[in-house]
Amino acid sequence: MVSKVSNGHSLDSSEDYFLSTYRMARKPFIKFNSPLKSENLLIVRYTAHFFKLPKWCDKSWNKRPYPARMAYSNQLGAHKMYFSVSLSVVMAVFTFSAFAATDLTTIAEKSGWKQTGRADETERLCHDFQKSYPSRVKCKALGKTPEGRTLYSMIVGKLTDPVVWVQAGIHAGEIDGKDATFWLLKDILTKKIQPDPLAGLCLVFIPIMNLDGHERFAKYNRPNQVGPEEMGWRVTSQNYNLNRDYVKVDAPEMRMITTWWRKVNPVLSLDLHVTDGAQFQPQVGLVVLPTTAFGNSNFHKAGSAFETALVEKMKARGQMALPFYPSFEEEDDPKTGFSRYVSNPRFSQSYWYHQDRLGMLVESHSWKDYANRVKTHYDTVLSSLEVAQEQSKDWRMFGKYSVNGSKVALEFKHTDKHTMIDFPGYEYKKIKSPISGVEVIEYDPSKKQVWKVPFYEELSPSLVVTAPKTGYLIQPSEAAIILPILDVHGIKYSKAKILPPNPQVFRATKTEFNPKSLEGHHTLKVEGEWNEEKVDFPAGMIFVSISQRSPKFILHLFEPKAQDSFLSWGFFNRYFEQKEYMENYVAHQVGLEMLKDPKIKKEFEEKMKDKAFADNSEERYNFFYRKHPSWDVKFNRYPVYKF
């Protein structure tokens, strides 16, 4: 920003801070945004000189001899007293304001890492960082939460440089990352850390993703976690778990943040959490996606190279970091060991991976105290920035690939292949709980112990699909539901211009509705296959091309067997509910008539050899109903087609 004064002098962005302070001192006398007149410019000039600040007048003014400038000052006459008073006020206000602007210390740090600040502190720090470092920091409001709070993001650097995204508080009780990153930014911007870990990079920071949940503040919101004294709540004010919402984007917060993430287009994204679970020595688990555990592309190799370098840097900083999520294969049984995994894109790091960007889940250990965990996150973000400086040159190139008509692995599970590792744990024993009546584990953190446990690192596909050669077609009746979600994810679509006469149609042969709600959805599992059929398309079909960025993510959305597809999340449950029926007494008569056909009779007799079918009267009636012209041909037919 450049401010103008009445005689044509210009002030650049670094000068605006002092100018705004000067105007604040004069606020009782002038309009705050009024032009700076020559005599007032003189006041600013001499005050700036007193503080050894940059010269703020143009070159012609600077070239004037000192007596000439003093002569001009003497010409002010009645303004001389005003000059003196204003100078004193400006000096006092500026001194106080400069001190306040540099006080970027969090409540967490001031309390000795016993407490964490509320939402108002985050808003203040966001603006104060910008005021203190206007050439490097921008504070951006993303929008309003359901409870009316403003969600903020900080941009440190230039968005034209490779962007590293850091988010904290997606589960607001796990708030270490907020305080750690504010602390780190203070140290970077005050040049306490050299060389500058942000040189050549841009950091985009979301201090509190789940802002409404953060303000549900209480002492006992995290019973499996040591500190801070009070913290926020896991889910939003609408009871959404944001780290299950990356695909369906139900929550307004997720729609805002995902839209912003896509706009800044990071090369690396970090999601800062605190784990639950067992007690052991390592401070943090680092789950990077992708890695060579399930692929050998340059993208997978880059993920593994980042992971290796990061773990080494953490070790050099005294942090014991694990390159996997420290959750036992079987709950409460350390002997079962650990494994790598590839989560579905409903989770942050997997969403970023399926958007062809490196993603990392950071899980500090909940049984370490708050000071320890905050320092762990500090070191993790700092080390990640350093590795990004070294390796990010080619990270922007990922995402340029084609899957048209190919077999694509969407989901993975670990194989039985494993290695035995020495894992730094604690002594433990199992006792029978008088509360539950079953065995429970008791740890003794005072006694270190090395566990020899299996580590399952090899992954193999558990779901392989065939990508469409061209794309998917969506019925126009579903446009109002599906298209806004595609918009958030940046997926392009258009009205179909050419419709294939025989597209591939998916019909479910078996459906299983989840009896329990998950994140407000009744999920659905289906069995069935894609087959070519003749379809009479309605006007206005929507076409989604597979030939665009992140085609694997598009497959996750539209392949019905994928766990995070629109179908699996229950967006199309209506199509898998029977809406019309044939009364049994009618089906009885229809069946008697159909049995006169030798082919149908033979087929029915074969089915009767299956005891489950023979014992199910409804299935026996439906055998004939499905062959009747009144049967609904759209029942169990997926309203999305591919070709």
With a cut of 90, say whether residue 376 has pLDDT above it.
yes
pLDDT of residue 372: 98
The closest of 403, 389, 200, 381 to 297, measured between CA atoms, is 403
- 372 beta partners: none
With a cut of 90, say whether residue 86 has pLDDT above it.
no
Cis amide linkage into residue 345, ω under 30° from 0 = no
Minimum mean pLDDT range among 50-64, 209-223, 224-238: 50-64
With a cut of 90, say whether residue 431 has pLDDT above it.
yes
At 9, the amino acid letter reads: H
With a cut of 50, say whether residue 61 has pLDDT above it.
no
143-166 burial code (b ≥16 CB/10 A, e <16):
eebeeebebbbbbbbeeeebbbbb
pLDDT of residue 396: 82
With a cut of 70, say whether residue 315 has pLDDT above it.
yes
Task: Give the contacts of 541 (CB within 8 A, at least 6 positions apart).
Answer: 473, 474, 475, 476, 495, 496, 499
| pLDDT (tens digit per residue) in 117-144 | 999 999 999 999 999 999 999 999 999 9
HEC sequence for 363-400: EEECCCCHHHHHHHHHHHHHHHHHHHHHHHHHHHHCCC
- The average pLDDT across 574-595 equals 94
| pLDDT (tens digit per residue) in 164-197 | 999 999 999 999 999 999 999 999 999 999 999 9
| pLDDT (tens digit per residue) in 286-300 | 999 999 999 999 999
pLDDT of residue 65: 53
Residue with tokens 């077999």: 407
At 204, the amino acid letter reads: V
Residues 91, 97, 98: CA angle, nearest 5 degrees: 85
| pLDDT (tens digit per residue) in 463-515 | 999 999 999 999 999 999 999 999 999 999 999 999 999 999 999 999 999 99
Share of the chain above pLDDT 90, in %: 81
Quick one: DSSP state of residue 544?
Answer: E
Q: Which helix (H) or strand (E) is 352 found in, with range?
A: helix 348-354
pTM of the complete model beyond 0.95 = no
With a cut of 80, say whether residue 16 has pLDDT above it.
no
> What is the token pair recorded at 465?
């699909």
With a cut of 60, say whether residue 44 has pLDDT above it.
no
Phi then psi dihedrals of residue 222, to 5 deg: -130, 85
- The average pLDDT across 210-225 equals 97
What region does 4 belong to: left with phi over 0, alpha with psi -120 to 50, or beta?
beta
| pLDDT (tens digit per residue) in 244-283 | 999 999 999 999 999 999 999 999 999 999 998 899 999 9
Alpha-carbon distance of 190 to 636, in angstroms, equals 62
| pLDDT (tens digit per residue) in 350-363 | 999 999 999 999 99
Average pLDDT across the chain, whole number: 88
With a cut of 80, say whether residue 90 has pLDDT above it.
no
Which one is predicted more confidently, 602 or 36?
602
Strands 268-275 and 358-365: parallel
pLDDT of residue 631: 87
With a cut of 50, say whether residue 94 has pLDDT above it.
no
> What is the token pair recorded at 95?
């001194």
With a cut of 60, say whether residue 99 has pLDDT above it.
no
- The average pLDDT across 433-454 equals 95
CATH T-level topology, domain 107-395: Aminopeptidase (3.40.630)
pLDDT of residue 277: 81
Stretch(es) of the chain classified as CATH 3.40.630.10: 107-395
In the sheet that holds 524-532, the strands lie side by side as 494-495, 542-545, 471-474, 640-642, 504-513, 524-532
Sign of CA dihedral 481, 487, 489, 493: positive
| pLDDT (tens digit per residue) in 380-392 | 999 999 999 999 9
